[in-house]
Chain A
């Protein structure tokens, strides 16, 4: 309680410094917030595309009804598999005639349906990455009645490369800005410590414990971090409103991300303050 009071007093007593450090951490986290908004929307778009990732197993013509039923249930029981759709030879021809309109005149004239029956397999979320898709495709190709397996390897790889780039950029940019924010908060706390050096000297002189002396500065860092995070949240929300109305349909951040952002701000503030306290007050009671 005393530490909180002291920290607030310290912030109020130096409003310019407090505003500067809160604004700095706020702007830094705002950049992280904007990136988070972008990353979230990219992730959602990727997930939509990923839902379309499917494996098509083409079947030999000789496969019987019973065998087909068995194999459908067997493949459907794979842990990675979400659904298995059977497309008969007739359906395949019908679909082809609808999708390939330039050949629509040819299809009614063919005597023998050249298209094979197939199983269209969709995978569970989390199993749509290139490795998982390849693994399932390899397993399917081991069945005797499977003639060929196709799964748009190129697309799957591209989608995941994009996601990795987005993730990596988020990590690098977010990390850089977080570092800048930490340096700023650390400097502010360092200045607070210097501004109170006489007080600290007296506290040390009369026998206040090291924890008692250090705690208000850690709380000051914590408050700065939380206020900075809240400021970043307000700015990010404003940016979302502008983008959502004017440019395109943008999704707002999930609650868990917002909570994580505020906790991140608090942690950054605490860590930065802790670093300054360790640096500036390392000689406390050292003989």
Chain B
């Protein structure tokens, strides 16, 4: 679904942010991007979101390719790729429900669709009872959940999260990560960029891509044999989805599985 082929990104002022990076993320996968600040994690997310174009190589997301995409197609791509920021980026003058509804309104959803969908999304992220609260009345963890609900509003195939726990305490971080894991269990791929080693230790069973100075130095999926010993997952089931519907797609998303469309996704145009 997402493919980086020999991707290099060079910024005129700050130099090379990414150097000849190649990897692939399949539908429904959960991937951690690990690395220190400036390693290239955000650049990978921005390239996937097609906010920037690679200097060399090619980035493909679903049927869109960085070498062929037209400017007017990018909004359609963005609806299939949700993005969650460290600083939440909520509109302070809107309630939690209105913030989620905003994403639907601006992408042209019908009014009759918006209300029930917002209710469902807030239920998914455990905030059904906080729908009418303003961001200033919410905790950091709750704000990030609103941001996640907003990112889910357009039914994306993949959620990109850039240090989503960077502004949260340990408990809230864990809650947010568990939410990502649960959403992933419902079929949405997740690429989560973090340098939080505690978090990575807790989710050590997940795939990790490690970046250093713009180079991909480790991919747990392909380097399993040479992988240094890591403790197994210490995930505790402390977070419950309010409305955990659907079954896990993990079985169909094993290594080597062929990309297949999600229900409702059209597979037209050039493939990645």
Contact = CB atoms under 8 A, between A and B. Distances in A.
Tell me, yes or no, whether A binds B: yes
Contacts of B52: 287
A176 B76 CA distance: 43
Query: Interface centre among A203, A207, A285, A286, by most B CB within 10 Å?
Result: A207
B75 A210 contact: yes
B94 to A, nearest CB: 10
Given A212-B106, A212-B108, A205 B83 contact: yes
Interface in B41-58: 49-53
B53 A208 contact: no
A198 B50 contact: no
- Name the interface size band of chain A: 10 to 19
B91 A206 contact: no
B51 A206 contact: no
B108 A206 contact: no
A206 B50 contact: no
Interface in A199-230: 199, 201-210, 212-213
Interface residues of B, number: 29
B153 A206 contact: yes
A207 B89 contact: no
Contact of B106 (A198, A203, A285, A286): A203
B106 A206 contact: yes
Given A201-B89, A287-B53, A207 B154 contact: yes
Given A207-B76, A207-B154, A208-B106, A202 B71 contact: no
Given A206-B150, A206-B154, A285 B74 contact: yes
Query: Interface centre among B53, B76, B103, B154, by most A CB within 10 Å?
Result: B103
Contacts of B150: 202, 206
Contacts of A199: 91
B78 interface: yes
Contacts of A285: 71-72, 74-75
A212 B102 CA distance: 13
Nearest to B74: A285
A207 B107 contact: yes
Interface in A249-287: 285-287
A208 B103 CA distance: 8
Contact of A207 (B66, B75, B102, B105): B75
B91 A208 contact: no
A207 B78 contact: yes
Interface in A170-203: 198-199, 201-203
A254 B129 CA distance: 62
Contacts of A286: 71
Interface string A3-35: 000000000000000000000000000000000
B27 interface: no
B26 interface: no
Contact of B75 (A2, A198, A202, A208): A208
Contacts of B89: 198, 201-202, 205
Interface of A: 2, 198-199, 201-210, 212-213, 285-287
14 contacts: A201-B89, A202-B89, A203-B106, A206-B150, A206-B151, A209-B72, A212-B108, A285-B72, A285-B75, A287-B52, A287-B53, A287-B66, A287-B71, A287-B74
Interface of B: 49-53, 66, 69, 71-72, 74-79, 82-83, 89, 91, 102-103, 105-108, 150-151, 153-154
- Sorted from nearest, which 4 A-B pairs have the closest CB atoms? A207-B78, A207-B79, A208-B106, A207-B75
